[in-house]
Amino acid sequence: MSLFVKKSLAQLQASADEGTSLKRTLGVGNLIALGIGAIIGAGLFVRTAAAAGEHAGPAVTLSFIVAAVGCAFAGLCYAEFASIIPIAGSAYTYAYATMGEIVAWIIGWALILEYALGAATVSISWSEYLNKLFGGRIPYEWCHSPMENIVGHHGIINIPALVILALLSLLLIKGTQESATVNTIIVILKVSIVLVFIAVGWGFMQAKNHTPYIIPAHAAPAILANGKVYTYTDFFRHGWGGILAGAGVVFFAFIGFDAVSTAAQEAKNPKKDMPIGILGSLAVCTILYILFSYVLTGVAPFRDFMTQGKEASVAYAISTYMHMGWLATLVTVAILLGFSSVILVMLLGQSRVFYTMSTDGLLPKVFSALHPKFRTPYKSNMILFVFVGLFAAFLPESVAGDLTSIGTLFAFVVVCIGVMVLRKKDPDLPRPFKTPLVPLVPILGIIICGAMIVSLDTSTQIAAFVWMIIGLIIYFSYSKRNSKLGSMGDILPNASEFEKK
């Protein structure tokens, strides 16, 4: 069997039309809400302050625009694929149709870094913020991993992280529509709180905080809490260099819009609604990010975000400059809601990727077993809870690091390449949505996302490489021998032939 055997659109469509397929219950509103649910998490509250304090100052708004443009390139490519191949599996499915099985497996394996480890990491942060909301009343031993300790206390297990994972996993087992409804409610609540901050904070902005808008090379340094001096003379700490570096920081606040494509097989009208869901959620979040960062840097001097701590910067700005403790509490609630919806969508995305890989024979059948009543991959959800839960309960957040991001960026690159491959391979294929300016848009997406991968630290790159080696061992020892496509010997008619029928 060739390692690059491809799955035709005829086979993809046939798998979607099977009687045992996932249930189509999601409308365009649900899809946009899924995207917003995955995108707006802690990134809005943490990344904004970090990018402003370290690199861009008030011009962090421009950093968000640069990052959004980079995401838009990948998003346009995702939208084209989602309209052509409305099947669960996201980048894994797209790679299978354009570049072959081995590439699809690598992408599927990489997506575990984005979805499963991402859900685990966010659940740990959820636990931290819950304890913050409760004023630290949860005993340290029961909300930290055994690898963490402070004077007089040693972590045992992170129970709050396990609880939120269990609740959301049960919700996903109950049904995609129910999960989407809860996610939509969460999205409405957290977006409302963000809008309240923008509306109320607008009246507390001071022009001096936005002057100068772009950090100059001679800007006064920030004195950190440990007494060290943080200067802005470095190229990536002022001017347009700082804006670009800030874009690298806030880029990861956009991760999540691609999760919409994993629910393609559960969309009522995927060819029309998937592009709207992907690009619509990205557009809504970009506008909110720009408005939020503009108000935040107008309320407080950007140096304060260096001296007061990144995580607490927003609450600090509200309490210190707006004197509204109630709003600071609401922001903490918004962060918890944001984390919850991110975890929900990440678990949904991972189970759907596993579902598709299992139906292809690359993973055991247990991952594609559907609940007889709810029509959800319930066994996959339960296995994922155990895997993700072990990580969240017994390992610190720092272990995941940037692995979540590198898995996402790798998927972005492959999707951009896939659009160009399919355009050349089958230019006449009906495309309900077409990525504009091909190959320029995909190439720009590859360059920007590739640069982000290169910019990550060496230890993250090594860890990702080791992860890929483990994945290849599993592929050659199990998946290659059990591949349904490989066992068939011949590939079914190509996509264009299928479309003519």
pLDDT tens for each residue of 124-160: 888 887 887 887 888 888 888 887 777 678 888 999 9
CA distance 66 to 120: 28
Q: What confidence score (pLDDT) does residue 385 get?
A: 93
Q: What is the pLDDT of residues 413-466, one digit of tens each?
A: 888 998 998 898 888 888 888 999 999 999 999 998 888 777 766 777 888 889
Identify which of 320, 400, 395, 293 has the alpha carbon closest to the alpha carbon of residue 60: 293
Answer yes or no: is pLDDT of 399 > 70.
no
pTM of the entire predicted model:
0.75
Could you give all domains of the chain from N- to C-terminal order, each with its CATH number?
27-493 (1.20.1740.10)
Q: Which residue would you say has higher pLDDT here, 167 or 86?
A: 167
- Residue 144's CB is within 10 A of a number of other CB atoms, namely 26
Residue found by looking up tokens 């590439």 in the block: 103
Give which of 92, 135, 94, 125 is closest to 110, Cα–Cα. Answer: 92
Asked if residue 158 lies in contact with residue 143, where contact means CB atoms within 8 angstroms, the answer is yes
pLDDT at 400 over 60: no
Closest CA to 37 of 281, 349, 264: 281
Q: Tell me which residue of 254, 310, 307 sits closest to 128, measured CA to CA.
A: 310
User: pLDDT, tens digit, for every residue of 342-354?
Assistant: 888 889 888 888 8
Q: Can you give the pLDDT at residue 230?
A: 84
Percent of the chain clearing pLDDT 70 (strictly above) = 86
Question: Is the backbone peptide bond immediately before 439 cis, with ω within 30 degrees of 0?
Answer: yes
Q: What local confidence, expressed as pLDDT, does residue 58 receive?
A: 94
User: CA-to-CA distance for 430 and 109, rounded, in angstroms?
Assistant: 30
Buried-state track 84-120, b at ≥16 Cβ within 10 A, e below 16: bbbbbbbbbbbbbbbbbbbbbbbbbbbbbbbbbbbbb
- pLDDT at residue 275, rounded to an integer: 85
How far apart, in whole angstroms, are the C-alpha atoms of residue 113 and residue 355? 16
Q: Say if residue 165's pLDDT is above 90.
A: yes
Output phi, psi for 188, to 5 deg.
-60, -45
Q: Are 402 and 455 in contact (CB under 8 A)?
A: no
Q: Interhelix angle for 440-455 vs 60-84, to 10°?
A: 120
What pLDDT is stored for residue 225 in this prediction? 65
- Cβ–Cβ under 8 Å, residues 146 and 390: no
pLDDT for 43: 66
d(CA 305, CA 380): 41
Give the length of the chain.
501
Q: What is the CA radius of gyration of the chain?
A: 23
396 backbone φψ class: left, alpha, beta (φ>0; ψ -120 to 50) = beta
In the DSSP assignment, the letter for residue 11 is H
Q: Which of 186, 344, 182, 188 is nearest to 262 (CA)?
A: 344
Amino acid at 277: G
265 or 488, greater pLDDT: 265
**pLDDT value at 80 more than 90:** no
Closest CA relative to residue 259, chosen from 418, 82, 413: 82
Residues 5-56: tens digit of each pLDDT: 776 766 666 655 554 456 677 788 888 887 887 777 756 776 788 888 888 8
